[in-house]
Amino acid sequence: MNRIKEVLEQKGIKQVWLADQLGKSYNIVNGYVQNRTQPSIEVLYKIAEILGVDVKDLLISTK
């Protein structure tokens, strides 16, 4: 499970924008956001870099 959806919502970023930044389709990013599929470690690190967060913030709930 990942927290990509929560981080996107906190930052007010749309999935379409993230997909564009990653060079991936909206459907692939939506799969990550909905936890239907998990990104590779490399993609996860790229998402963290794009969103300006530590990669662990995408994996571990801070609640």
Q: What is the pTM of this model?
A: 0.90
- In the DSSP assignment, the letter for residue 15 is H
pLDDT for 1:
82
Topology given in CATH for the domain delimited by 4-53: 434 Repressor (Amino-terminal Domain) (1.10.260)
Mean pLDDT by 10 residues, the chain (63 residues): 94 97 97 95 97 92 61
Q: How far is the C-alpha of 58 from the C-alpha of 61, rounded, in Å?
A: 8
The answer for residues whose C-beta is within 8 angstroms of residue 12's C-beta and 6 or more apart is none
